[in-house]
Chains A and B, each alone.
Chain A
């Protein structure tokens, strides 16, 4: 059984640019959630995808968007990058996304630095 994988591991961008982060869910899981973790803070929920549709969204602006593919992998896209977007971006997968309190398993994250 493979765990959650993310790419790239690190990324440096400049303000105003766009970035795409990728996530492959754990084997057997069809739901992916994305979180932003600023330094010294807990993860903050961005959104969740279940069967290629957004299944919930946190308090993030529309320039944060996502996709989920038929193989349940997912992308997080951020447009018009701002300095405050510098953070660790975590992807978490879960089995169905439809069961409250379902366990979410995190990937290693992508560390984004915006200059």
Chain B
């Protein structure tokens, strides 16, 4: 039930773009994106609930294709503060728990 994230790690220069993918083999109700910095709690970024829904927050946006059970997180014009590990958490129709992927480590360099 654990969603699969790709890539596992990515290194960017400041100002470059990145895409992080999250896919599940099970039908999903929701996808939740979090960013976690070393030694800190995961910080909520956004939640997507409907098929084909897209959301954006500053230069971070995401899409959710309910039919394909896939979500993508888009980071544009990356900033140093974007560095961290990004997790997708997936919610199923059958309950309230979130299943998290193993995370994507993102490092933005000057």
Contact = CB atoms under 8 A, between A and B. Distances in A.
Contacts of A90: 41-42
- Looking at chain A's contact residues, the main secondary structure is loop
Interface of B: 2, 29-30, 32, 34, 40-44, 47, 49, 87, 89, 91, 93, 95-103
A101 B49 contact: yes
A106 B91 contact: no
15 contacts: A33-B96, A42-B101, A43-B89, A56-B95, A56-B96, A98-B96, A100-B93, A101-B29, A102-B96, A103-B32, A105-B44, A106-B34, A106-B43, A108-B40, A109-B41
Nearest to A45: B97
Given A58-B97, A109-B41, A104 B87 contact: no
Nearest to A108: B41
A43 B96 contact: no
